[in-house]
Amino acid sequence: MGEGRQSPNWVLLSLMLAAVAAWLSLDAVSVAPNRIVPGTPHMALGVMGGWPAWLLALPMLAVAVLAWKPGRKELRLSLVAVVTLLALLPLWLSAATAVLVEPDMPQARVAIGRSLWLVLFLLLLATIELRTRLGLSRPLGWLLLVPMVSSWWLSLALWLEPLALLREYQARSDQFMSALLVHLILVGAAVGASLVLASLLALAMRRHAGIRRTGFAVLNFLQTIPSLALFGLLLAPLAWLGSRLDWLAAFGVSGIGWAPAFLALLGYSLLPMVRNIHVALEEVEPAVIESARGMGMSRRQVFLQVRLPLALPVVLEGIRITTVQAIGLTAVAALIGAGGLGTFIFQGLGQAAMDMVLLGALPIIVLALVADALFGSLSERLRPGGAA
């Protein structure tokens, strides 16, 4: 049978037209002589005579045309074009930096403009859309980003020394690594503790309906409390405990710092974790359990060798959701002195330095995406009939 042609892919078509409009109408880069003076914005069409901008815009338009009636061949060509465009963006930025930054401006700072951020975001969405349409696996989807990552790494290493984001990192590299480590420790501790506690709660809920009703009511209530409000509610009791109990004070427990951050993250992590574990254990087919018992398995063997392995993919989904949520919420913990990458976000907001904000925000986004991909891929592999 020949490859059929489909109706227009409105998602891909809209993404490409939006990318072209953003690329040609908004500022792509700004240049400032130093950190204090506001930068001068430059549109892509105003750099290097504008022809490099059209070299990037034309493939976007070509993908929009291919999206009108896409067969598999058109989708493959679109994917190649989008991956190539993602790899070319940092090279265009490197060329623009070389043209716009004068040799006598050693303190000049180049900031990425609105159009470049929007185009990057829209092209990544287009990559996800094409991967889904073509039925590619998650690992292969991540491999599609290798050209873009390699291009950014090469550009940052060789040509993008004036990039404002890079200069913010260079000025705070030691502080950045310390904040990253604190962020990962807080997330890991909260997710690990929630997994243990949620497992115990889910097992108790399976045995007692009263615990199930009360437990879910309390956990749902915790989710309705804004994160800043929860930090505030924890401040007074933890400060009191830290001042009354020396052994808690020795561990650094006080109204600010890691303790309220950890407890708040734990509270927010419990609901998705408990719900997924409880549903995963309850939804195992009764016929499978009866077959295992018919084979002479004990109750313990049925749980460990049948129910738990079958429930594991859904449990991993709960861990995935909880981890991604915790990575984002940990940024807010910087407001109570817990540290982490949120420190750069709030310092940048206070100084009106958006590149410092990005220094904290971009790693958080990357961590969340990596966690989502790892746990998502593992969950897919463990599902019956999943990838080998």
Q: Are residues 299 and 330 in the same domain?
A: yes
Number of domains in the chain: 2
Query: Mind listing the pLDDT tens digit for each residue in 226-243?
Result: 888 888 888 888 888 888
What domain range is 330 assigned to? 173-382
Neighbours of 289 (CB within 10 A): 16
Q: Are residues 78 and 178 in the same domain?
A: no
Please state the rounded mean pLDDT for residues 9-36.
Answer: 92
Paired residues of 111 in beta bridges: 30
Q: What is the pLDDT of residue 2?
A: 43
Taking alpha carbons only, the member of 331, 132, 95 closest to residue 228 is 331
Neighbours of 305 (CB within 10 A): 13
> From CA 321, how far away is CA 351, in angstroms rounded?
33
Q: What is the pLDDT of residue 195?
A: 94
> From CA 222, how far away is CA 15, in angstroms rounded?
38
Residue that finishes a domain, picked among 135, 150, 166: 166
Neighbours of 378 (CB within 10 A): 17
**CA 257 from centre of chain:** 24
Query: How confident is the prediction for the chain on average, in pLDDT?
Result: 88
Query: Mind listing the pLDDT tens digit for each residue in 47-103?
Result: 888 888 999 999 999 999 999 988 889 999 999 999 999 999 999 999 999 998 887
Q: Are residues 331 and 269 in the same domain?
A: yes
Q: What is the CATH number of the domain that holds 190?
A: 1.10.3720.10
Residue that finishes a domain, picked among 166, 186, 218: 166
Q: Are residues 370 and 274 in the same domain?
A: yes
> From CA 54, how far away is CA 45, in angstroms rounded?
8
Structural domain includes residue 329: yes
Structural domain includes residue 1: no
Q: Are residues 207 and 287 in the same domain?
A: yes
pTM of the model: 0.85
Q: What is the pLDDT of residue 181?
A: 95
> From CA 299, how far away is CA 228, in angstroms rounded?
44
Give 21: exposed, middle or buried? Use CB within 10 Å, 0-12, 13-18, 19+.
Answer: middle
Q: Are residues 125 and 209 in the same domain?
A: no
Q: What is the DSSP string of 199-237?
A: HHHHHHHHH-HHHHHHHHHHHHHHHHS-HHHHHHHHHHH
Spatial contact of 156 and 234, defined as CB atoms under 8 Å apart: no
Paired residues of 54 in beta bridges: none
| pLDDT over 70 at 4, yes or no | no
Q: Are residues 178 and 307 in the same domain?
A: yes
Structural domain includes residue 4: no
At residue 149, φ and ψ (nearest 5 deg) are -65, -40
Q: Are residues 289 and 343 in the same domain?
A: yes
Residue that finishes a domain, picked among 122, 144, 166: 166
